[in-house]
């Protein structure tokens, strides 16, 4: 008889890994601070800073403790620092920036180069030189999944271009990527944004506004895409992770009420167009059908009311 047992699945004390990816000016660090502050509530959170004390610029705005991580930025140095913060009892840990683990001094790109040289710099050893750095990176990611605290990982992004042939001519365009937008590509191992609970790209033209790279259905209500990530976002996330019930589809209810309060057809048309645009942006066909039905119902009410006045 097997000793393996099963129990009903419950969502309680779920640890989250959230990735914020952006270039300079995208609001990456500030957004991480806002999110962490909301998630931590009245408690202090922790920041592991690889940016030479840059996190401390926000010391007057948020209540947090900081630990500085210096080169070499080996994967195990990151996992050691994160596990130390977890053991210290912090409920939320921000890492700014995780990109050094990939492209920083002593990161996995440097580790690969060191291995390549050690193997004699032969072209035939190029693939084998990735085994050790990728192995260390994989072990780091496995350790992060065991952390009890919520993790907010910040990554830098860089803008890349590529050449394509169009109408017989070569053209320079923003590089296309599953993890990028308008050529902005995360500086990290390419699978990382998809290994996290949720990950977002932030861009300089709209600082703090989330462009989802990975955002599963159960988390969509936690991060409205028409609002910047904020302390309120953090509170919603923390409540959900603790087993709370997210107030789903509040935006639907608002649009339904807006239409039900309309007294004239022009007012109704304006309210419906706003609801329709919101549903299309969220790619919510069910909501769109609800809005159409409510528009038709309220239109009949308004028309009947007009006939009675005549």
Give 34-54 pLDDT, tens digit per residue.
999 999 998 999 999 999 888
Look at residue 152 in the predicted model and tell me its pLDDT: 98
Give whichever of 17-21, 241-245, 291-295 has the largest mean pLDDT: 17-21
Sorting pLDDT into bands at 50, 70 and 90, what band is 259? confident
Name the residue among 147, 129, 17, 136 with its Cα closest to residue 82. 147
Measured CA to CA, the distance from residue 50 to residue 36 in angstroms comes to 17
Per-residue pLDDT at 14: 84
CB 61 within 8 A of CB 94: no
pLDDT of residue 180: 65
Q: Which residues contact 112 (CB under 8 A, 6 or more apart)?
A: 129, 130, 133
Cα three-residue angle 151-186-89, rounded to 5 degrees: 10
SS3 271: helix
Specify the pLDDT at position 309.
57
Question: What DSSP assignment string belongs to 209-270?
Answer: EEEEEE--GGGGGGS-TTS---HHHHHHHHHHHTTPPP-TTHHHHHHHHHHHT--SHHHHHH
Instruction: Give, as one character, the DSSP assignment of residue 54.
Output: G
Q: Between the ranges 1-10, 159-168, 218-227, 269-278, where is the mean pLDDT highest?
A: 269-278
DSSP letters for 76-128: HHHHHHHHHHHHTT-SEEEEE-TTHHHHSTTSHHHHHHHHHHHTTS-GGGTTG
Could you tell me the pLDDT band of residue 222, with boundaries at 50, 70 and 90?
Answer: confident
Nearest to 203 by CA among 223, 220, 218, 185: 185
pLDDT at 287: 82
Q: Give the mean pLDDT of the chain.
A: 88
Question: For residue 259, which of 289, 292, 305 has the smallest C-alpha distance?
Answer: 292
Q: Terminus-to-terminus CA distance in the chain, angstroms? A: 81
Query: In the 8-state DSSP scheme, what is residue 23?
Result: -
Per-residue pLDDT at 247 exceeds 60: no
* pTM of the shown model: 0.75
């Amino acid at each position: 008889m097997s000793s393996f047992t099963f129990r009903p699945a419950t969502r309680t004390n779920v640890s989250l890994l959230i990735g914020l990816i952006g270039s300079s000016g995208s609001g990456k660090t500030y957004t991480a601070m806002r999110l962490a502050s909301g998630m931590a509530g009245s408690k202090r959170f922790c920041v592991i800073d690889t940016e030479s004390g840059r996190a401390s610029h926000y010391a007057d705005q948020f209540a947090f403790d900081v630990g500085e991580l210096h080169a070499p930025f080996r994967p195990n140095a990151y996992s050691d620092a994160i596990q130390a913060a977890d053991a210290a009892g912090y409920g939320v840990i921000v890492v700014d920036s995780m990109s050094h683990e990939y492209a920083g001094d002593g990161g996995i790109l440097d580790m690969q180069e060191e291995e390549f040289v050690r193997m004699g710099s032969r072209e035939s050893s190029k693939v084998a030189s990735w085994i050790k750095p990728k192995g260390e990176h994989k072990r780091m990611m496995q350790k992060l999944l065991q952390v009890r605290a919520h993790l907010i990982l910040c990554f830098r992004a860089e803008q890349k271009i590529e050449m394509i042939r169009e109408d017989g001519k070569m053209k320079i365009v923003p590089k296309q990527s599953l993890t990028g937008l308008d050529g902005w590509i995360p500086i990290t191992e390419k699978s990382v944004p998809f290994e996290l609970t949720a990950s977002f790209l932030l861009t300089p033209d709209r600082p703090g506004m989330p462009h989802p790279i990975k955002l599963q259905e159960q988390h969509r209500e936690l991060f409205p895409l028409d609002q910047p990530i904020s302390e309120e976002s953090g509170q919603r996330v923390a409540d959900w992770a603790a087993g709370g019930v997210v107030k789903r589809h509040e935006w639907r209810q608002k649009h339904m009420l807006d239409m039900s309060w309309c007294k004239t057809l022009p007012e109704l048309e304006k309210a419906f167009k706003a609801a329709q645009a919101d549903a299309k942006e969220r790619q919510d066909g069910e909501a769109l059908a609800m809005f159409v039905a409510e528009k038709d119902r309220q239109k009949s009410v308004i028309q009947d009311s007009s006939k009675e006045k005549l």
